[in-house]
Amino acid sequence: MDTTSDFLGHPKGLFVCFATEMWERFSYYGMRALLILYLTKHWEFSDAASYLIYGAYTSLVYIMPVFGGMLADQILGSKKAVTYGAILLVLGHTGMAIESNQQIFYLSLALIVSGVGFLKPNISTMVGSLYKEGDPRRDSGFTIFYMGINIGAFSASLLCGYLGETYGWAYGFGAAGIGMLLGLIIFLWGQKYLQGLAEPPSEKYKEIRMGISYENWAYISGIFMVLCSWFLVQNQELVGTLLGGFGAICIAIWLLYALFKCAPEERDRLIVVGILILFSLIFWALFEQAGSSLNILTDRGVDRTLFGWAVPASMFQSLNAGFIFLFAPLMAWLWIILAKKNLNPSTPVKFAMGVAMAGCGFLVLVAGMKGSGPAAMTPVLFIFLIYWIHTIGELMVSPVGLSVVTKLAPVNMVGMTMGAWFLYSGISNFLAGVIARATGAETIGGQITNVEIAKAGYIEVYSQVGFIAIGIAIVMLMASPFISKMMRGSSRAIWSTSPPMNRRMRSTSRGSGLVIWQRSTGCWT
């Protein structure tokens, strides 16, 4: 082990990746905190249209890493892919600060989508490559890395949200863009600390086809990703159609393979994978109301006054990351204590509890809305409560999701399983937009025309999704003994313990023996 390149007991390259990812998450979550407010207030889109744009955008953010990861695996390598993704992100966030042209706005969203597609699946892989197989520092290294993600997400919602709503949208989006530019500069400066790792997997990138190298073809593919995303964010219904079609095809292939190609034990575990993916879809569709309908409700229908200051609505987006910092260690300790007493809940039970918490969060908020009167502002306490309850639910779902899914899948179907997970993650985000659209109120210039009717609409939708979620959780709880039985017999260890500090990110992890905490699903893989 070359200790000369170490800092605080870890490779210096870890801190390069830490800073790059921190600033990338800063840029993404800073922009995300403002997006739905920007759509309704600046462009004066209707609530329904804004929610669909938001849903299409976030769903594409979770789909594109599949393609960016493939291009990195086959041609570019992680370093080139991250650099390319960072450049696209800088361009996208810069464009978001231009408020005068709607097409530039859509193009900026497309650049961010594609930039995330190249950066997200590869920066984590780069961290893993810094440690040799069996290096005991690996787990703590990833914990440090993902702390950066939470720091970026937490600070972005506060700073970008404050600047955007107080001084102007361009200031908030501009701050997000500056953050990503800092991340790119740090990454380029720190190349020497990456120890020559994360290079292209072979010399294939130098080969010429049709007068163009494979490397340049990969960059051209990135431009094609931008153009496709540009078209899709403007045709949101098509996104839903495509996701639904691919989802149906995926299920069909899944079932056919399970029935005709798998041994009984493998078939059972594959069915469990499908069940867990579907239940995670439900959870994230509810959880992702945070950036859309819940953000709008906080802006329009909540008394946001704290210590005499009307806190900008977007700043409340920091609560989830803050609660993760506070409660992730406590939840980790709880699972360890319960495991020692042989009382640790099974994976299906944790999933059921997580979905139930998602439903309970909405019902608590509904109680606060009803208690405040038909047209009065809802006390801000209930916004704190729903974020706290949802975070606890997330910590019940996150540590078991992708880890269990990938370990249960047959060895020759792990890649397809990963693809299905990302596909349904995208579907969950689009579904979140559809749910949010149901809460949409009639507005003029971004202002609601009838507060009482708007509030009643929120109460109706949130009550429905709350009770439906709890009903689904009860069904899964009742079925948990059967699901657990179907999970048994796997030769690969299945475990879920302490989640380190993290921030939601759906990214791929490639490479043998790589252990990663992923906050896209929030799990170990």
Tens of pLDDT along 299-339? Answer: 999 999 999 999 999 999 999 999 998 998 888 888 889 88
- Residues 328, 281, single domain; the answer is yes
Residue 437: pLDDT above 90?
yes
Residue 296 domain-assigned? no
End residue of a domain, out of 217, 234, 251? 234
- Residues 35, 75, single domain; the answer is yes
316 vs 499, higher pLDDT: 316
| pLDDT value, residue 192 | 86
**With bands split at pLDDT 50, 70 and 90, how would you rate the model's confidence at 156?**
very high
Contact 49, 426 (CB under 8 A): no
Q: Is the pTM above the cut of 0.75?
A: yes
- Residues 77, 214, single domain; the answer is yes
How is residue 500 written in tokens? 């380190």
Residues 6 or more apart whose CB falls under 8 angstroms from that of 370 comprise 459
**With bands split at pLDDT 50, 70 and 90, how would you rate the model's confidence at 487?**
confident
End residue of a domain, out of 234, 252, 272? 234
Residue 519: pLDDT above 70?
no
Residue 260: pLDDT above 50?
yes
Contact 79, 188 (CB under 8 A): no
Residue 511: pLDDT above 50?
no
* Least confidently predicted of 23-37, 297-311, 437-451: 437-451
- Residues 368, 490, single domain; the answer is yes
**With bands split at pLDDT 50, 70 and 90, how would you rate the model's confidence at 414?**
low
Residue 449 domain-assigned? yes
* Least confidently predicted of 88-97, 211-220, 253-262, 329-338: 253-262
How many Å apart are CA 518 and CA 507, to the nearest integer?
7
142 vs 218, higher pLDDT: 218
| pLDDT value, residue 154 | 96
Residue 363 domain-assigned? yes
Residue 27's domain comprises 8-234
| pLDDT value, residue 255 | 76
User: Between the CA atoms of 225, 226, 227 and 231, what dihedral angle is there, to the nearest 10 degrees?
Assistant: 100
Average pLDDT over residues 40-49: 92
pLDDT in tens, 468-483: 999 999 999 999 999 8
Residue 448: pLDDT above 50?
yes
Total count of domains within the chain: 2
- Residues 401, 278, single domain; the answer is yes
How many Å apart are CA 117 and CA 368, to the nearest integer?
39
